[in-house]
């Protein structure tokens, strides 16, 4: 974070140090939020499940998106420790699900490609557990308004979170577009190869046909007894 020279000169050293500390806390809070991000390969007619132990009352969020394969869709469901299905969607390209754990135990979320018999999928998901901790101490219990410096750090923290979300979104879009471009390039290459083979066969056929038109048929020489 850059500070103008005139303002920097007017600030005491302790204030500048506090500002740097708060801004660094905002940066680390934005970059170090708890959660799990994973990109997995999901073969055809296959299912992958993940398990997470949660305390009662804890909020969790599941975001997922299909990056490549088939029609870019997948089945997804979430079960609580009692085996109750709390979320289920079929053939979704992307979705987001948030829920507060009602009971303590191991929660299971699965991605299924069992409806596809030949399409290999690549799925990205982000599993976040709990709420993000405040970047300032006792921020939730404050009875006074935030100072200008604290408000600036909160704003920086929110902007960094927005940047991280945007980078993740565009990274997934880039991977998806690259997959589509590679698939289209493969189809064009196979089509071009097929056209080349067809033209080669047709050319040989035309040459053989024209050659048969200009081939001179010689008469049978000498009859017997003449």
Q: What is the pLDDT of residues 45-54, one digit of tens each?
A: 899 999 999 9
Q: How far is CA 32 from CA 24, 29, 89, 155, 164, in A?
A: 12, 5, 30, 17, 11
DSSP 147-189: PHHHHHHHHHHHHHHHHHHHHHHHHHHHHHHHHHHHHHHHHHH
Each as own residue / partner, the long-range contacts of residues 204-211 (CB below 8 Å, 24 or more positions apart, any chain) are: none
Q: What is the pLDDT of residues 157-190, one digit of tens each?
A: 788 878 887 887 888 788 778 878 888 888 899 9
Q: Tell me the β-bridge partners of 77.
A: 88, 110
Q: How far is CA 78 from CA 46, 107, 128, in A?
A: 17, 7, 14
Q: Where are the domains of the chain?
A: 36-131, 135-214
Question: What does residue 134 show for φ and ψ, rounded to 5 degrees?
Answer: -65, 145
Between CA 11 and CA 22 the distance in angstroms is: 15
DSSP reduced 3-state for 109: strand
- Chain centre distance of CA 149: 36
Q: What is the pLDDT of residues 77-113, one digit of tens each?
A: 999 999 999 999 999 988 999 999 999 999 999 999 9
pLDDT of residue 143: 56
pTM of the model: 0.61
CATH number of 36-131: 2.60.120.680
């Amino acid at each position: 974070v850059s500070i103008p020279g005139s303002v920097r000169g007017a600030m005491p050293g302790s204030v500048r140090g506090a500002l740097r500390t708060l801004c660094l806390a905002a940066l680390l809070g934005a970059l170090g939020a708890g959660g799990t991000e994973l990109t997995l390969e999901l073969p055809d007619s296959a299912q992958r499940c993940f398990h997470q132990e949660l305390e009662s009352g804890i909020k969790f969020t599941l975001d997922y998106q299909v990056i490549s394969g088939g029609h870019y869709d997948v089945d997804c469901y979430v079960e609580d420790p009692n085996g109750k299905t709390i979320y289920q969607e079929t053939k979704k390209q992307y979705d987001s699900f948030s829920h507060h754990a009602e009971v303590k135990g191991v929660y299971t979320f699965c991605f299924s490609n069992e409806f596809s018999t030949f399409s290999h999928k690549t799925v990205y998901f982000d599993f976040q557990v709990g709420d993000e901790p405040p970047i300032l101490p006792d921020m939730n219990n404050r009875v006074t308004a935030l100072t200008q410096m604290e408000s600036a750090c909160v704003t920086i923290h929110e902007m960094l979170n927005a940047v991280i979300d945007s980078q993740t979104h565009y990274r997934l879009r880039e991977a998806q577009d690259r997959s589509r471009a590679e698939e289209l390039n493969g189809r064009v290459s196979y089509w071009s190869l097929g056209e080349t083979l067809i033209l080669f066969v047709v050319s040989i056929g035309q040459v053989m046909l024209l050659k048969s038109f200009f081939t001179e048929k010689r008469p049978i020489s000498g009859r017997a007894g003449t």
